[in-house]
Structure formats: C-alpha cells, structure tokens
Structure 1
C-alpha cells in the first residue's frame, strides 16, 4: 500500500510517500510543494492553484492508495490563520478527491503520541523518531517534510494496530 502523508501549509506543504507491505515500511519519496514565490506577488487563488497542481502532480505520478493529512488546528486568538489554512487543506483534499483517494485525518497531538509516545513532542523528537523508524541516514528536512512523514507513519501504525486487533479477534 502506498500512503501519501501531507503537512498542509499555504506557503510550504510537506509531503511524504511511504510504502507499507507485510509489516515493512519503506520511504518512496518526500519533499515540499511551494505556492508561488512571494505572498506579495500572488493572490490567494493563484497560491491555492499552485498547491493543488503540485499535489496533483505527485498523485498522478505515484498513485497513492490513501492520503493522511494533519487536521486543522488554530488557536482561537488567530481565526484568520485557521481560515487561510482551511483554504490550503481544501485545495489538497480536492486533489485527492479528484482521484478518489480516501483521506484520513489526524490531530497533531494524535500524530505525536502515535509516533513518539508523547502528545506534546517537540519537532526535534518527531524528526529523530521519523529518522529512526524509516532507517534514514540523515534527518529529513525541512520540518514540513518530517511532519508529512510523521502523518504517513501515524496512518501506518494505526493500520497495524487495527490489523493486529482483527487477527486477535479471528483467533
């Protein structure tokens, strides 16, 4: 199974593709999709189009079977941030919807807890765990990529737990 993990952002969206097969996890590809170069040089519509096209290109090339994406969280003191992030997530979800890819949403604290065992883990802790779990020689950078891989790993680990529970019930 090929899973596309997404760390949504209007300026920089991290992505990570993991292959999960017979209990093994393998990194296929990871990187970032950037909206147009400068906030001042483009309007919101063009930036969203840029994100949509970037993720669509990845989806078309790799044909993932599932997308895992971080849920929207914004502090009540910053509602504008939540609205802008909602637009970015919408463009990314549309790319998955256009190809009938099921999308799984995970809260940031759920991702951190699943990956590191601590719901309030630091970026460095997540990066170290992702590096170890994927057997990487070097930590993924920037953090947008690390976070996208963490979302994909969260999906895989959740799926493994479901499979183990199903096997126990069958016995």
Structure 2
C-alpha cells in the first residue's frame, strides 16, 4: 500500500509518499509544490490552480492508495488563516477527486504518533521520520512534515486493521 501525506500551505505545499507492507514502511518520494506570492484575488486563484495541478501530478505519478492531510490551525492573522484554509481545500480535493479516502490529523496527533510526544519540535519530528524511513532525504521542512503525516496515517490504518481482524475473531 502507498500512503500520501500532505502538509497544506499556500506558498509551499509539502507532500510525501511512503510504502507500507505490514508493519514495515519505506520512503517512496517527497517534495514541495511551490507557488509564487501575489497580492490580488486573481493571483490567489492562479496559485491555488498551480497547487492543485501539482498535487494531481504527484498523485498520477505515485498512485497512492490512501492520503492524509494535516488540519489547519488558526493563527493571529484571519486573512492568512483563510488563505491557508483554501490551500487545505486543494489538499483535500485533489486526492478525493482521484478516488482516495483522505484522513485528517491535528498537528499534535501527528507528533504524538511519530515521536510519542504531542508537543515535539520540528527537529524531533524530522529525526523520527529519518529513523522510521532510513536513508530519506527531505526536499524541505514541508516535505518532512508531509512524510510525518503519511506515517501517522499509516499507523492509524494499521491499528484499524488490527482492531477489525480482532473483532472478526471475536477478540475485543
């Protein structure tokens, strides 16, 4: 199985694809889709279109079986939060349009799953991603975050699969 993790951003949308075989995970690819900054609404529409096309190309190339997106947090700047929400909409739309189920995780849930601590720093997250995906080279911090999101989703899918197998055998 292949899992796509997406770290939504308007300037830099990180993505990472991992392979999952039982409890083993491997790095497939990672990158960042970059859009240029602009001021007007037309510029925003063009940037969102660029992000969508880039994410669709990633999905077409790597053919993931599942996807996950980090949930947006609200910051001090309402306009910035709204724009990030629009980029997050693209991050949800592209995989959904490709027929993929999309998981959503809060940043603290991703950190807790990958590191074991919900308030881990970026360096700790990157270290644990390197431990779980030996030899990985990040295309940038956003790509590293996306790989962490993919790992989080893979772990949750594994847990769900184990619970379902246990319930089929009559084990609670």
Q: TM-score, normalised by structure 2?
A: 0.90
Q: Which whole-Å CA distance do the structure 2 matches of 1:118 and 1:93 have between them?
A: 26
Task: Say whether the 8 Å CA contact 1:16–1:31 is kept in structure 2.
Answer: yes
Q: What is the CA distance between 1:162 and its match in structure 2? A: 2.1
Q: How does 1:32-47 map to 2 (within 5 A)?
A: 32-35=32-35, 37-39=36-38, 43-47=43-47
Q: Which whole-Å CA distance do the structure 2 matches of 1:117 and 1:151 have between them?
A: 14
Q: Which whole-Å CA distance do the structure 2 matches of 1:121 and 1:65 have between them?
A: 28
Aligned residue in 2 for 1:73: 73
Matched, 1:5 2:5: yes
User: How has the CA–CA distance of structure 1 residues 160 and 154 changed in structure 2, closer, same or farther, with 3 Å as cutoff?
Assistant: same
Worse overlay, 157-166 or 54-63: 157-166
Matched, 1:112 2:107: no
Aligned residue in 2 for 1:160: 158
1:66-118 CA-partner distances (Å, limit 9, x unpaired): 1111011113x322222001111112222112211111000000000111111
SS at match of 1:96: helix
Aligned residue in 1 for 2:86: 87
Aligned residue in 2 for 1:140: 138
CA RMSD of aligned residues (A): 1.7
Task: Say whether the 8 Å CA contact 1:127–1:139 is kept in structure 2.
Answer: no
The runs of at least 4 consecutive aligned structure 1 residues that moved more than 6 Å come to: none
Matched, 1:56 2:56: yes
User: How has the CA–CA distance of structure 1 residues 78 and 40 changed in structure 2, closer, same or farther, with 3 Å as cutoff?
Assistant: closer
Q: What is the CA distance between 1:44 and its match in structure 2? A: 0.1
- List runs of 5+ in structure 2 lacking aligned partners: none
SS at match of 1:27: strand
Q: What is the CA distance between 1:123 and its match in structure 2? A: 0.3
Q: What is the CA distance between 1:40 and its match in structure 2? A: 5.1
Q: What is the number of residues matched between the two proteins? A: 168
Q: TM-score, normalised by structure 1?
A: 0.91
Higher relative contact order (CA 8 A, sep 6+): 2
Matched, 1:149 2:168: no
